[in-house]
Structure 1
Amino acid sequence: MESIITNTGILEDAKSIATEMIDLRRTIHSNPELGLHLPETQQLILKYLENLGFDITLGKNSSSIIAILKGDQPGPSTLLRADMDALPMPEDTGLGYASKIPNRMHACGHDAHVAMLCGAAKILALRKSELRGRAVLMFQPGEEGYGGAAVMIEEGLINDFGTIDRAFAIHITPVIPKGIIAIKSGTLMASADEFSIEVIGKGGHASMPSDAVDPIPVMCEIVLALQSMVTRRIPAFDPAVLTVSKIEAGTTSNVIPEKATALGTLRAVSENTRLSAIELIERVVINIAKAHGCEALLHLHHGSYPVTINNEVETQRTAEITRELLGQNSLVIMPTPVMGAEDWSFVLQNLPGAMAFLGAAPPGVAMPAPNHSNKMIIDEDAMAIGAALYAAMAL
């Protein structure tokens, strides 16, 4: 078979700049920024890309960056993405470069994604004569609940920069051995929809519940009924995950409050199950409250993040390039999707593409903390592998 990659030295190129990628990642890690506006992170990326020959476009409504490198030979345009934002949570890793800002942490590896894509940018710039077509680098803020990918699409990512033929993203994870690439075609990650519930009753004295309409037991019944709904009404082979993650009611021990509130999330791996579950949630919440003489207000934030679906052809291309770049044993085909969600799904609704998981388990740790943990750490040596794979996908 003809070599897919134009030069087998890509991994060596990435290893040669590993130290500067690690330095960049640590700088971003210690100064995490949230949401769509990440001015310090944006400036660090722009400084790194300076003099590499990329055409730069900055976002209007966010700190996004689109950086385009045109190769010396004609060919397809490949979109490569790194998300940039952190999470609003404490860090308890004890690292020397831990977050300097209370209740902010890069616990999902976006700092590593940025460093890897910057490294790939340098590799591509050095190999511009080998690049057939264009590399379109997408530095995206606001992945953690802000829909930054959708914001960039609305601002012209897909329509205003010429034809983009394919798209690729990497997500680093500390629970897979270092250097292993995990992928599957079809559904890779679940959809994500958030909901809030407000049960309104009638307040009163805690010693006389018959003179009030207590919303607390009604809310408890709703929560249990929602769990039963998932196991009894949703097909086991087309699953959904529903979690009520917050319940709030009352102010003191001798008062029945007027209302109780709850927040939750729904995840599904198909649009049919997603829509069916949303309909069932509404039925359960409204009718249980009504049966107890309460009013229920349900707010469904439908369409937060769609299902992330990898294109079969692009998944196969990723697998072939991974095996050639890293060896036959470097690839794992995932048997099932992950129930987390990704706004990369918006890009894959518009372009044929894929996302792969990059293993970065820290050495000597039997049970590494997962993404979104306050103790999440990675093996930074894995970033050279990620940068090489990004570059290879464009080359």
Structure 2
Amino acid sequence: MAENDSLRVQHLQEKMREAGLDVLICRLPENVVYLTETWPHHGISVAVLPKEGRPTLFIPEVEAEWGNRDWAEVVPFGWALLKDQDLYVSYRQLLGEVSSKLGLGGAKVGVERGLEIVGATYRHAEPILPAAPWWELLREVFADAELVDVTDLMQSAKLIKTEYDLARLKVANELAEIGANEFLKTVEPGMSEVAISALIEGTIRARGAGYKGARLVWAEAEVASGPVNTAKANLLIPSTDRVIEEGDLVMVEMATVMDGYYSDLTFMAVAGEPNDRQREVHNKVLEAQQAASRQFVPGNSYEAPDRAARKVLDDAQLGEYFVHVTGHGLGFRFHESTPFLMPGATGTLVEGMVSSVEPGVYIPDFGGIRIEDDVAVGKDGPVFLSMSRKPW
């Protein structure tokens, strides 16, 4: 690994030593990416990180060419074909060799037990996640060791992004913007919500692979249109076959993943020209978003961006329609546990944190407007990972 690329693994190993951990055993996709810079296709891969030295990635043969050998020792194993033995027989052998090689009798072994929300595998239609058989296997293989849940440790490690991480997240956002720009120049009356979804997703997939080194690219765009559907879109709702009419607000919530790095953006458009009220509300939401982003200064509280956004909307008599948080952490999945930018949040912003910034208002008989970008806390203030927006 190049020096900058290894910083996050070194940072994690420092946390392991502080916690008295001898090794980490990880299967969750976001943690495999964090340790090995490889996004699992199915969820079968296992990443092993000792407190000293390089990670090892046990990966199915069918995925072996995708393993990043600059980051980890990549060890393929057979799976799912007639020639291959049972998966758990392979796991038992591989992890038994790890235990013997590292001398883990009496050791503290970090395992993943506490997450209910997890990042997806590339094969998101049917991800394979660790459950009871996996925990039983770990207890068997490491019977002489202490198994320790590392959910909090992993989340704290991923909270601060390195320069390498931020550069990769920037590429993920650029891919999302390729699809967004296609939407902005194409949307017109007569198109259905699902047709716009397909246009955006197809554009990102078709033009994303190979872009600035991107290998695996996945995108989901959910479209809401008109006064009813956009007003319901304060949380994610599916695209429908509704046909867009002249003058409709159109909201696109976009999820884009590039090699395990996540972008979460929302774009707005009008089918035709915005009317005065649409322009007024949109520009106030944009003003609120920019006010929140300016609070991305080391030492500010998690609440500061939220408070700044709400003041703008309260002053414009729009505050009652702003019903959700201003932003959430992201990077190795769409919703990381911290920071959450909301009323009463007590954490402190630190350089390298990344959050969405997404104030929105949802007004009955008018519709909803949300503007969402991904922003990092820089040394001297906000660093936008996605493109800046313009008033209507």
TM-score by shorter chain over 0.5 = no
Query: What's the TM-score bracket when you normalise by the shorter of the two chains?
Result: under 0.3
Q: Larger radius of gyration, structure 1 or 2?
A: 1
TM-score, L = length of structure 2: 0.25
